[in-house]
């Protein structure tokens, strides 16, 4: 049987061969069209398609070689890019799949694995995980933009589509300096802003064109808004079966309350969070941070990553429906366990835990501190540090559950001792004994915390009008593919021209769109 042409280049594992031979082998096989396409990253594929689309205008957005009918067919979804997508390894012959793996470095002796071996270790590491993924974000304030920020942190190219008339409503949030919101700049780091009027037909065509080159759409508009604009999620999904469409709403896309407006505080109230926050017997209290918005954003991020992974397997995108209400209710883990088991309705208990004690704020001579002595060893150590061995022997406090039922008398006995000395004294003694405890910090303390500073959690990012902005880093610490930050949030329309050029528009087309009020260039 005749040998396969390239097989003569194979050598046993560990055998020496000139490095130049390996490189030339890789270059020669990269000329194979299907392999070139499979190895290309998303940016290279978008550049290839943009070059073929040709220039775009405000009425006939992309004339190209095939004229307006070709554009109409694309926008109507007739040109399904997934039919021609050769990234799926099942589309390649077995022999070519092995070559793709070897050239990417996923097989023993692959070129990329040899290149990685020569890279320095430390801060210069691999590309972030979502490099090559493009996200189109449409939204205001918190939930959608915070999800977009997580995806940008992980390396996605996030294009934030805003109205030319003011943009994201978060741009009006104080503090304002030089006409720019510092909070907006922090929440929208590493995104690109494109200002398009989606109420105009030409603007909607531009949006559809951007979505055609995207992997994900994230929006947190009121349900039905995109339908009213003529950009229904189902239509966008039908036009590109590989698209992942993420809708973050207050109440979900269906159900009796789907059309209600939602704010974080409304969802906190209706999710039960406010009923268990605050002092026992006191009025309902809002959680200090926008927990409903933020929880929904994090769930949206998780769901996006899951949908992208599913697409890797079968090549199909999907609709992701994230509700702020369900996100907030899902946090009631202990409360649900109690209610579904006993029928009891959980109530606010201040800083105390609902199930165990002592696990709460304790008063010292100068301030409160936190302690969590709930296991037998930590309870024993806690009593000995305070000189309260009698509590350890008292049957009312024999275990954490009994201590919770007798919490009032327990805390009174504890604070009779702790109120005699400052918090720092007790914290030092308890830590030495291995009892979990901590200071109750305000954000002035937190934002200069030596531990966070040592881990370089805070960072300064450049902004074109505000200069260097200090903000919070990402808690996502991936050793091999770390998150990377480049800049603060964009000016309104700062990247409109750049992104439209990538979509195939000429400078004349962009200038005409600006004159017509369809786009703003910032």
Residues noted as catalytic:
293
Q: Are 56 and 62 in contact (CB under 8 A)?
A: yes
Sheet arrangement for strand 359-363: 359-363, 368-372, 437-439
Q: Which residues of 103-132 are buried (b: 16+ CB within 10 A; e: fewer)?
A: bebeeeebbbeeeeeeeeeeeebeebbbbb
Helix crossing, 376-386 with 423-432: angle to 10°? 130
Q: Are 293 and 141 in contact (CB under 8 A)?
A: yes
| Alpha carbon separation from 64 to 44, 52, 55, 152 (Å, rounded) | 19, 7, 6, 32
Helix (H, G, I), strand (E, B) or coil at 134: strand
How many residues would you count in the chain?
522
**Which segments of 47-197 are extended strands (E)?**
134-138, 157-162, 176-177, 180-181, 191-196
Phi, psi of 98 (to 5 degrees): -65, -40
Q: Kindly give the pairing relationship between strand 134-138 and strand 216-219.
A: parallel
Q: Are 100 and 38 in contact (CB under 8 A)?
A: yes
**H or E stretch at 209:** helix 201-212
């Amino acid at each position: 049987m005749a040998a396969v042409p390239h097989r003569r280049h194979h050598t046993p594992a560990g055998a020496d061969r000139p490095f130049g031979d390996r490189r030339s082998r890789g270059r020669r096989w990269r000329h194979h069209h299907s392999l070139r396409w499979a190895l290309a990253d998303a940016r290279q594929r978008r550049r290839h398609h943009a070059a073929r689309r040709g220039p775009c205008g405000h009425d006939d957005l992309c004339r190209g070689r095939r004229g307006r009918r070709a554009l109409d067919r694309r926008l109507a979804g007739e040109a399904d890019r997934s039919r021609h997508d050769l990234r799926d390894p099942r589309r390649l012959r077995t022999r070519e799949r092995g070559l793709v793996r070897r050239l990417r470095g996923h097989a023993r002796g692959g070129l990329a694995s040899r290149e990685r071996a020569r890279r320095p270790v430390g801060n210069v590491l691999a590309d972030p995980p979502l490099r090559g993924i493009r996200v189109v974000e449409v939204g205001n304030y918190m939930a959608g933009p915070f999800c977009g920020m997580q995806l940008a942190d992980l390396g996605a190219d996030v294009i934030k589509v805003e109205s030319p008339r003011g943009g994201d409503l978060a741009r009006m949030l104080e503090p304002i300096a030089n006409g720019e919101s510092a909070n907006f700049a922090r929440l929208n780091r590493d995104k690109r802003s494109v200002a398009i009027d989606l109420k105009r037909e030409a603007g909607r065509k531009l949006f559809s064109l951007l979505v055609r080159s995207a992997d994900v759409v994230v929006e947190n508009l009121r349900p039905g808004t995109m339908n009213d604009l003529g950009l229904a999620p189902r239509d966008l999904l039908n036009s590109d079966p590989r698209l992942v469409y993420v809708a973050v709403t207050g109440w979900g896309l269906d159900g009796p309350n789907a059309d209600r407006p939602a704010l974080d505080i409304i969802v906190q109230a209706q999710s039960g969070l406010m009923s268990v926050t605050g002092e026992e017997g006191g009025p309902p209290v809002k959680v200090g941070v926008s927990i409903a918005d933020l929880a929904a954003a994090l769930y949206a991020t998780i769901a996006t990553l899951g949908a992208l992974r599913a697409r890797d397997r079968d090549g199909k995108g999907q609709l992701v429906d994230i509700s702020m209400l369900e996100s907030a209710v899902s946090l009631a883990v202990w409360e649900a366990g109690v209610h579904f088991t006993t029928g009891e309705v959980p109530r606010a208990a201040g800083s105390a835990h609902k199930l165990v004690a002592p696990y709460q704020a304790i008063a010292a001579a100068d301030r409160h501190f936190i302690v969590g002595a709930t296991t037998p060893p930590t309870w024993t150590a806690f009593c000995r540090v305070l000189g309260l061995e009698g509590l350890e022997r008292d049957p009312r406090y024999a275990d954490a559950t009994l201590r919770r039922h007798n919490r009032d008398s327990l805390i009174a006995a504890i604070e009779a001792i702790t109120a005699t000395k400052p918090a720092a004294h007790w914290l030092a003694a308890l830590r030495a004994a291995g009892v979990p405890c901590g200071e109750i910090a305000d954000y002035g303390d937190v934002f200069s915390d030596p531990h966070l500073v040592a881990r370089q959690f805070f960072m300064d990012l450049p902004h074109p009008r505000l200069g260097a902005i200090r903000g919070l880093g990402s808690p996502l610490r991936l050793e091999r593919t770390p998150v990377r930050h480049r800049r603060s949030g964009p000016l309104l329309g700062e990247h409109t021209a750049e992104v439209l050029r990538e979509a195939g528009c000429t400078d004349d087309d962009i200038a005409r769109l600006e004159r017509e009020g369809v786009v703003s260039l910032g």
